[in-house]
Structure 1
């Protein structure tokens, strides 16, 4: 008698619970793109842009002189970060980890901005060993400007997180194109008037020679970079991007 009652109670509980607090159901159809070009680009950049966004937030949340615990947590969470440096208010490096990095700074890093108005800026240093992107932000001693925190990484290391790294292209407008073996005309991509294009657009498709590329802009602080990939179907229409 107890077994029957218990089984009935258990069944009734599950039925009632599903009615009051239904189990979550993910509607995968609502995430489908109508444009195969954007779908391809989204799949390529999702594993890349997620960690980048997390790093931006991590650095942006720091407005005082960081300590060793902050550094340890940074390196543990973002193993693709190559270097961390801290300057004084004059721009002199007072701390750098590692002290002897594999890639030396090729040119002085110049972060130009009014630090009361700007929290994040980027500088890309181009050396013989490849690009190194630095995300920089100010830190303060009470209300006084203390100096800058810089976090550097090779953007190609981040691109390796993509499911198909060779298909992904990242453009530093007016300066360089980053890829991991993509068959791309870098000079032609840089010749695109990105400055004018980005005034009104945040995504789209461009033709370079006989190829078409689907692209999406990405802000890091106030600076813009561009994710791109060769289009699957240049004639495809429709958009899923939420903007």
Structure 2
């Protein structure tokens, strides 16, 4: 009799657990599934189609590190910070600390060219003051195009000036492998780096970039029966557009 009771209890326990397991599995699979990352899709979204120049990743990484390092400094730094920042981003043209009145407090530069003195730092003294984030500005020079990244700094929550990192687009790009396969523009069609596309640059600049960026950040287009891929990156208030011919 004792064995029969034990057997009945086991059957009842098994019958009761089966729905519980089914319910648990249904909840796990349907209501609260374990998140899975499709690395193949993610890699394709980040790097574009097969054949997109590897130089894009190197350039994009440089800009990301620059923005991250500058955006964390919202107070006036000491000399050790300037030296470390300058060493970490040795490809920069210059790094300047400017007061709201235009007085230069500190400066690091690789160039003694006269053109360097023509930069109007007062026009760059804005940044994103409300959110304490950098803001990018395009500087059109006579011989090259530069980008300035301006980060506001504060003392006792009062805006005192900006840290301004300036770099030339050709210096940023030309050291990266396969850089000639890549062209770089902004949303207004300004050519920041032409790569090997000299005769096609005017047609690239005339593309409706602003309209395209309203709907997507990547896509394809054609110029003279040649197919091109483009990828847009939002860089602190400025769109940077990477584009390359699709071959093969």
Alpha-carbon deviation of 1:213? 1.4
Are 1:59 and 2:70 an aligned pair? yes
The equivalent position to 2:116 in structure 1, one of 101, 104, 109, is 104
The equivalent of 2:220 in structure 1 is 205
Q: Secondary structure at the match of 1:147?
A: strand
The equivalent position to 2:231 in structure 1, one of 216, 223, 226, is 216
RMSD (CA atoms): 2.8
* Larger gyration radius, structure 1 or structure 2: 2
The 5 Å alignment of 1:3-152 reads 38-41=49-52, 43-98=54-109, 101-102=112-113, 103-106=115-118, 108-109=120-121, 110-111=123-124, 115-117=129-131, 119-152=133-166
Q: Which runs of 5+ in 2 are unaligned?
A: 1-38
How many residue pairs match? The answer is: 206
The equivalent of 1:9 in structure 2 is none
Alpha-carbon deviation of 1:47? 1.5
- Larger helix fraction of residues: 2
Q: Which runs of 5+ in 1 are unaligned?
A: 1-27, 234-243
Alpha-carbon deviation of 1:72? 0.8
The equivalent of 2:3 in structure 1 is none
C-alpha distance in 1 between matches for 2:219 and 2:117: 35
Summarize deviations over 1:2-59 as a string: whole Å, max 9, x none.
xxxxxxxxxxxxxxxxxxxxxxxxxx9788759x962222623111111221111011
C-alpha distance in 2 between matches for 1:201 and 1:118: 28
Are 1:159 and 2:170 an aligned pair? no
C-alpha distance in 2 between matches for 1:73 and 1:113: 22
CA contact 2:127–2:134 (8 Å) conserved in 1:
no
CA 1:40/1:142 → structure 2, altered by over 3 Å: closer, same or farther? farther
CA 1:78/1:107 → structure 2, altered by over 3 Å: closer, same or farther? closer
Summarize deviations over 1:216-239 as a string: whole Å, max 9, x none.
111111221111111125xxxxxx
Question: What TM-score, normalized to structure 1?
Answer: 0.74
By relative contact order (CA 8 Å, sep 6+), the higher-ranking structure is 1
C-alpha distance in 2 between matches for 1:119 and 1:33: 29
